[in-house]
Every structure is written in C-alpha cells, then in structure tokens.
Amino acid sequence: EVQLVESGGGLVQPGGSLRLSCAASGFTFSSFEMNWVRQAPGKGLEWVAYISASGSSIYYADSVKGRFIISRDNTKNSLYLQMNSLRVEDTAVYYCATESGYDRFEYWGHGTLVPVSS
Amino acid sequence: AIQMTQSPSSLSASVGDRVTITCRASQDIRTDLSWYQQKPGKAPKLLVYDASRLQSGVPSRFTGSGSGTDFTLTISSLQPEDFATYYCLQDYSFPRTFGQGTRLEIK
C-alpha cells in the first residue's frame, strides 16, 4: 500500500524557518517525481514545488522561490521542504504528492499544518 | 504562468443530477490537465488525468473531456458521496497551476 506521511509542521514566527518531511513507503520512491502542494485555511490548492526522480530538476512557485528549498533522499525514501523567511501568508496545510505517468498527482499524503504567526 | 479559470465557483445540485464543471486555460495546454476531488479535512483525490483518462477505481459516472484551452468534468448522476470541492490542474508547464475550485453542494 502506498503511503506518504508528512511531518515537521507546527507554529512558527514570521521570519522563521521550518523543515517539512514526507516519508514514502509502498512504492519505488526513487522512480517517482514529487511535489509539494499547499492549502491555506479555507482556500484552494496551490502548487509549491517539484523535484524530479533523481533530484536533478527542480521548480518552484514564484511565491516561494528564493525562500523554500525542495530536496529528496532516495536512500531514505524521503522528500523534504526547507522553508525559510516564513511569512504569515505561508500559513497552510502542506501536502506531498507523487507525480507519475501523464504527470498525474496520483498519491497524496494527509498533510501537515504550518501556522505562521507571532 | 498559465492561468486556470474554473467555473462555476460553487454549484448546488441534487442526487441524481448531471453536473458539469469547466476549466479554461490561458493558453493551449493540449490535454495536460487533471481533475481532483477534495472533501473537508482530507487530501485531494485524483479523478481524471490527461484530460479524459479515468483514474483506476474512480466511478464511471465521472467523465473528463476537452483539449487545448477548454475542459470539462461531468458527473452523470450525482451520488451523496460526490458532494465535495473539485479542482483542475494543468501539468503542461511549470509553474503548475490549479483552478480556484468548484464547491458542489447539496440542494
């Protein structure tokens, strides 16, 4: 069974940093592209970042470029999102999602909440 | 960035109704579009990919169509479990962009 489990969320002050993790199991993690998607309270989905299976290609939403870093460790079946210079508007539930054939976001984690507030 | 305009933003319907949600891209995205269903407090669920391919396990009452800039998701006969929020997503280019969502409510 495919499982994606996010962790690392929690209250952080504006300007602070946080590192999210996504632990993958039940599939060959190293073969899958991965994404982070977020959802602010009561709002729609926003794509945040993408990383290729090998980690050689990375893309970011303009809203997080220069502040967030996506990475992966295929030996640990894990995806990460280092979030720096956090802003109130970064408050959201953060989901990790696989990207497979036809670029579909097939599997999603349950999400981890990141409130940014003083 | 490609903009995805989804309509309507909300919709009231009854069990058994046929409903259609549309998504318009700001430029040609071929068939690089997928549809997701999200229920409150839950992660999104993939319904349709490549504009019209039904994800395994998704009921056949869900149908996706379109190419280029105009896309639709149709639910042929609404079931109680279909009341949720629906999103389109373009995967033609980066940054990926979602539609703003359509909230489907019980009439």
Per residue in A16-54, pLDDT (tens digit) is 999 999 999 999 999 999 999 999 999 999 999 999 999
User: In this complex, do B95 and A103 lie within 8 Å of one another by their Cβ atoms?
Assistant: no
Q: What is the mean pLDDT of chain B?
A: 97
Out of A59, A95, A105, closest to residue B89 by CB:
A105
Q: Average pLDDT for residues B74-78, to the nearest whole number?
A: 96
pLDDT above 90 for B4: yes
For residue B79, what are its two tokens?
């079931």
pLDDT given for residue A10 in this prediction: 97
pLDDT given for residue A101 in this prediction: 85
- Taking residue B45's Cβ as centre, other Cβ atoms within 10 Å add up to 18
Please report where in the chains the tokens 């229920």 appear, as a residue. Answer: B39
Nearest-Cα distance to chain A for B12, in Å, is 19
With contacts defined as CB-CB under 8 Å, which chain A residues touch B50? 102, 104
Residue of B nearest to A63 (CA): B95
Per residue in A50-78, pLDDT (tens digit) is 999 999 999 999 999 999 999 999 999 99
Q: What is the mean pLDDT of chain A?
A: 97
Out of B43, B53, B99, closest to residue A111 by CB:
B43
Strands A58-60 and A68-73: unpaired
Out of B32, B38, B98, closest to residue A46 by CB:
B98
pLDDT above 90 for A102: no
Distance CA A20, CA A8 (A): 5
Distance CA A38, CA A60 (A): 12
Q: Average pLDDT for residues B91-101, to the nearest whole number?
A: 97
| Percent of the residues in chain A that have a pLDDT greater than 70, as a whole number | 100
Per residue in B28-68, pLDDT (tens digit) is 999 999 999 999 999 999 999 999 999 999 999 999 999 99
Give the phi and the psi of residue A3 in degrees, each rounded to 5. Answer: -135, 135
With contacts defined as CB-CB under 8 Å, which chain B residues touch A109? 43
Distance CA A103, CA B43 (A): 18
- Taking residue A49's Cβ as centre, other Cβ atoms within 10 Å add up to 25
**C-alpha distances in Å from residue A19, one per residue of A76, A109, B48, B60, B72:** 16, 16, 32, 40, 37
Distance CA B101, CA A52 (A): 27
Nearest-Cα distance to chain A for B31, in Å, is 10
Instruction: Work out the pLDDT band at B71, boundaries 50, 70, 90.
Output: very high
pLDDT given for residue B75 in this prediction: 97
Under a CB-based contact definition with an 8 Å cutoff, are residues A35 and B70 in contact?
no
